[in-house]
Amino acid sequence: MSDKWKLYKDSRNKWCWYKTAKSGRMLGASTQNFETEEECEADAKANGMTDDSIRE
């Protein structure tokens, strides 16, 4: 099982992402918030998420 990526809206209704290991330990997170899910996904991909990554 590989790392999991989660794209979500925060309390300000902005998009963010984080990555966790299969153990549940957080490995990384976005350093900024995004207006659209597409911008957020592009940033996650720039930080290692691939098309075959596991997403929650």
Domain boundaries, the chain: 4-50
What percentage of the chain has pLDDT greater than the value 70?
A: 98
Q: Outline where DSSP puts E strands in the chain.
A: 4-9, 15-20, 26-29, 54-55
pLDDT digits (tens, 9 = 90+) for 18-44: 999 989 999 999 999 999 999 999 999
The structural architecture, per CATH, of the domain 4-50 is 2-Layer Sandwich (3.30)
**1 has pLDDT over 70:** no
Helix spans in 1-56 (H): 37-46
**16 has pLDDT over 60:** yes
**14 has pLDDT over 70:** yes
Mean pLDDT score of the chain, rounded to an integer? 94
**55 has pLDDT over 90:** no
